[in-house]
Amino acid sequence: MSNASLSRYAGWSAIVSAIATILGLVTLLIFFAQGEPWGTINDITSVILAISLLPVLLMLHRLHRRDTPNISLAALIIGVIAMLVAAVFQSLLIIKAISFAQTAILVPSAFGLFGVSLMVFGFLGLANAALPRRLILLSIMAGAGYVLVIIGIIVGGQEHPLTAIGGLIAVIGYPIWAIWFSRLVLSGKVTIQSTG
């Protein structure tokens, strides 16, 4: 895929991921208040989110691979594998091939690993200034939110304060980051440099 094609695809995918994140929060809150079918709709938004993050991760890798190829590649691999795991297991949950209990830790852990990947790309961005500094700091914050969610779940379950705090940080920070990132990428203000 050419750099120009990836930029367009990643830009629009970032917008889709921001919308999926917001819809995921809304449907989760409605599910807690009213029950089904909102839980299933929330699961569908998780699949859309996971799939839409794949081109975003690839774009981040291409932005950083010239200066830090090994670390950037590791962040890409971790993020892609995590999002594929999340998409597959959420899809299996949607079609009722597995139960929620079988995804309760695995899927949040996958999104936690995505958070790690987003943080790594953020720290790489601090070194090479491929993106604006405030956008980089926002990616680190959003990634940390995803990580806090899984720490909270492991430590004390879905009701643990870290789960709520991390979730709030992620669902506020990530969509803002994704929309800002997409605007820069789609406008051509952020471009992939040649590795040659």
Per-residue H/E/C for the chain: CCHHHHHHHHHHHHHHHHHHHHHHHHHHHHHHHHCCCHHHHHHHHHHHHHHHHHHHHHHHHHHHCCCCHHHHHHHHHHHHHHHHHHHHHHHHHHCCCCCHHHCCCHHHHHHHHHHHHHHHHHHHHHHHCCCCHHHHHHHHHHHHHHHHHHHHHHHHCCCCHHHHHHHHHHHHHHHHHHHHHHHHHHHCCCCCCCCC
Give the pLDDT band of residue 157 (cuts 50, 70, 90). Answer: confident
Please check whether residue 94 lies inside any domain of the structure.
yes
> What is the average pLDDT across 24-44?
93
> What is the average pLDDT across 76-83?
98
pLDDT for the residue 3: 72
Please check whether residue 194 lies inside any domain of the structure.
no
Please check whether residue 102 lies inside any domain of the structure.
yes
Percent of the chain with pLDDT over 90: 81
Q: Which of 68-72, 120-124, 125-129 has the lowest mean pLDDT?
A: 125-129
pTM of the model as a whole: 0.91
Please check whether residue 56 lies inside any domain of the structure.
yes
Per-position b or e across 119-147, b if 16+ CB within 10 A of its CB: bbbbbbbeeeebbeeebbebbbbbbbbbb
pLDDT for the residue 44: 97
Total structural domains within the chain: 1
Terminal C-alpha separation, the chain: 16
Please check whether residue 81 lies inside any domain of the structure.
yes
pLDDT digits (tens, 9 = 90+) for 47-67: 999 999 999 999 999 999 988
Please check whether residue 195 lies inside any domain of the structure.
no
Integer Cα distance of 97 and 101 in angstroms: 12
> What is the average pLDDT across 141-168?
93
Integer Cα distance of 144 and 171 in angstroms: 11
Give the pLDDT band of residue 196 (cuts 50, 70, 90). Answer: very low
Please check whether residue 193 lies inside any domain of the structure.
no
Q: What is the residue-averaged pLDDT of the chain? A: 92
Contact present, 57 and 79 (Cβ < 8 Å): yes
Please check whether residue 196 lies inside any domain of the structure.
no
pLDDT for the residue 70: 96
> Domain range holding 110?
3-187
